[in-house]
Structure 1
């Protein structure tokens, strides 16, 4: 019936949102790691 269909659609949307949030978190981790590496490289350059 229509109720199960709408529920399935809603759960599918939330699953897609969760995947998107996971991607965002992974991107944030990569960016913060990159910033840490850049800061480290800057320190090395200033030491030379």
Structure 2
């Protein structure tokens, strides 16, 4: 699937796609770490 997409796009479009992927992955990492911190915080408060 990815190979097909890469062959269809030109280089400029590929760079835009990669930038979007980096942004999505970065945002999800921030959300995951935020959720993990909130979980740890609430777990420690209960004790």
TM-score, length-normalised on structure 1? 0.70
Q: Which protein is bigger by CA-based radius of gyration?
A: 1
| Cα shift at 1:18 | 0.5
Gaps of 5+ in 1: 1-10
Gaps of 5+ in 2: 1-9
CA RMSD of aligned residues (A): 0.9
Q: Larger RCO: Structure 1 or Structure 2 (Cα < 8 Å, ≥ 6 residues apart)?
A: 2
Q: Which aligned segments of 4 or more residues in structure 1 are displaced greater than 6 angstroms?
A: none
TM-score, length-normalised on structure 2? 0.71
- Structure with higher helix content: 1
- Asked whether 1:33 is paired with 2:40, we answer no
